[in-house]
Amino acid sequence: MYKKCIKRLLDILISLVVIIVLSPVYLFTAIAIRLDSKGPVIFKQTRLGLHHKEFTLLKFRSMVVNAEHTGSGVYSNDHDSRLTKVGKIIRKTSIDELPQAINILKGDMSLIGPRPPLTYHPWPLNQYTPEQLHMFDVRPGITGWAQVNGRKTVEWNERIKLNNWYVDHCSFLLDVKIFFMTIAGVLTNADNENIGETVKKKD
């Protein structure tokens, strides 16, 4: 009941509140990005969502245009030359994730759930095992169980196992726990920097 109905209702209400209450933050961030560097305010990227269907994930742009095709690809850290001045700030504070409230409102995402992977990373969809595909049985989230248990430092096979555990144990109380653990992580900037490639040969 919670996973199918109540969770979605809460997502709609929370995303609406976030968009309305934080509208000044949205506006200020958009202006800052425009003044800081050339390119669009919003960064769009294709990700895998519920039932591994593709959707367009929204973020405030924190890097120079076409950053994915230069430098270290999908991996970045605080010293990445592709990050703009404003980008460094919004990355550290996770403000770059705020446009995903629109993804939640549209039904692409949930507040809590597995982070949606890229279509090609950590590996193409046809290389996921049947067990790993289980993580796509719920809507992806802005934050999730894997994010509060290592975030960017966790190797992808282990990350998917954590995601699958969440799918099997999803509940209101677990989501509340993850929410407050995420707030603590954002305030301390814990595990928010890639320490190297986190993909190894699958188990």
Name 178's Cβ contacts closer than 8 Å, sequence gap at least 6: 112, 143, 144, 145, 147, 148
Among candidates 175, 178, 176, 144, which has minimal Cα distance to 162? 144
197 domain-assigned: no
Report how far residue 66's alpha carbon sits from residue 74's, in angstroms, rounded to the nearest whole number.
12
pLDDT of 70: 63
pLDDT of 66: 80
pLDDT of 186: 85
176 domain-assigned: yes
Which amino acid does the sequence have at 21? V
Contact criterion met (CB below 8 Å) for 114 and 135: yes
The SS3 call for residue 117 is coil
pLDDT of 198: 65
Report how far residue 41's alpha carbon sits from residue 116's, in angstroms, rounded to the nearest whole number.
21
Mean pLDDT by runs of 10 across the 203 residues of the chain is 92 97 98 95 97 98 82 60 93 94 98 97 96 97 94 89 97 97 84 58 53
The SS3 call for residue 110 is strand
pLDDT of 190: 65
99 domain-assigned: yes
pLDDT of 4: 82
Domain that holds residue 129: 2-188
Question: Which residue bears the tokens 């049947």?
Answer: 130
Model confidence, pTM: 0.86
Report how far residue 52's alpha carbon sits from residue 187's, in angstroms, rounded to the nearest whole number.
31
61 domain-assigned: yes
Q: What are φ and ψ of residue 113, in 5° steps?
A: 165, 175
H or E, element range at 45 = strand 42-48
Report how far residue 116's alpha carbon sits from residue 55's, in angstroms, rounded to the nearest whole number.
9
39 domain-assigned: yes
Number of domains composing the chain: 1
pLDDT of 77: 59
202 domain-assigned: no
